[in-house]
Structure 1
């Protein structure tokens, strides 16, 4: 985790050193930095090649982003946490209905671009919402870790935090505090971004986060025994 954090910080700082902060674009900041670096050494001809490699890497990354959540959702649907409609598989074993539903949701959410003054602002909001939703999951994980230490202390684990109770409370509390702090930071836009109306900005983040939290809770409360796929049906 420390190495990953260091590499991300190094990349961000390298862009910040080259490009003035008021000119940094969240969308094209990396390409602008590469263009400045390469032009200094007479290697501008390398820019299209690097851009192509970045596109290939982005496509591969998006592929994992698309399939990872869908596969996880299908696993939960098998255990009866989603309606039977989402349990449909094609001949290649892919949950097609979940893929289509994901595409519809992402398309609707992407319309936030229409209400923002710049692409960078829209990109920031979408990134902030996705990060906040991700951190909500970690908050639940930290709470679950504390609870399981008391309710199932003798279950074999691959790794155990030293000092059964104090150690768990210390580590989980740090994780909870960091997650809550990061969620709050998402509501504070960077100073160089033009967000337009602060009311619209905060409303999009708050209600977007609220809806994303409410949907799984509502589905969980409405689940039925008939939603469970029997072993012979899988």
Structure 2
């Protein structure tokens, strides 16, 4: 989401928007860093966890990998040509 806003601002500056964020690269960059920090902090086991195995955290991490990376890649790889908006001459390249 943060990369997309910067990319769209640079590749399609002529599109009229309801609101333009000043210094969008800085805002998106700080949002990305905050999101990564929150994700990393979420993997720190709480004190109440005790000496239980950490395999539960590996399952959560694997789920994030599948949903966050593999699903969008599969969606872009197997998309149908009919999904392209009529205003676009050719499909947008995967980013």
TM-score (ref. length: structure 2): 0.73
Bigger helix share? 1
SS of the counterpart of 1:192? helix
CA gap of 1:227–1:150, structure 2 versus 1, over 3 A, is closer
Alignment gaps of 5+ in structure 1: 1-140, 229-234
SS of the counterpart of 1:159? coil
Alignment match, 1:224: 80
Alignment match, 1:83: none
Structure-to-structure mapping, 1:167-186, within 5 angstroms = 167-186=23-42
Q: Offset at 1:227?
A: 7.0
1:158, 1:226 → 2: CA distance?
29
Alignment match, 1:158: 18
Alignment match, 2:45: 189
Alignment match, 2:3: 143
- Aligned partner (choices 206, 216, 222) of residue 61 of structure 2: 206
1:174, 1:226 → 2: CA distance?
37
Query: Conserved in 2, the CA contact under 8 Å of 1:146 and 1:169?
Result: yes
1:45-98 C-alpha deviation (Å, 9 max, x unpaired): xxxxxxxxxxxxxxxxxxxxxxxxxxxxxxxxxxxxxxxxxxxxxxxxxxxxxx
Q: Which runs of 4+ in 1 moved over 3 A?
A: 225-228
Structure-to-structure mapping, 1:107-146, within 5 angstroms = 141-146=1-6
1:227, 1:154 → 2: CA distance?
24
TM-score (ref. length: structure 1): 0.32
Structure exhibiting the larger radius of gyration computed from Cα positions: 1
Point out which structure has higher relative CO (alpha carbons under 8 A, 6+ apart). 1
What count of residue pairs does the alignment treat as equivalent? 83
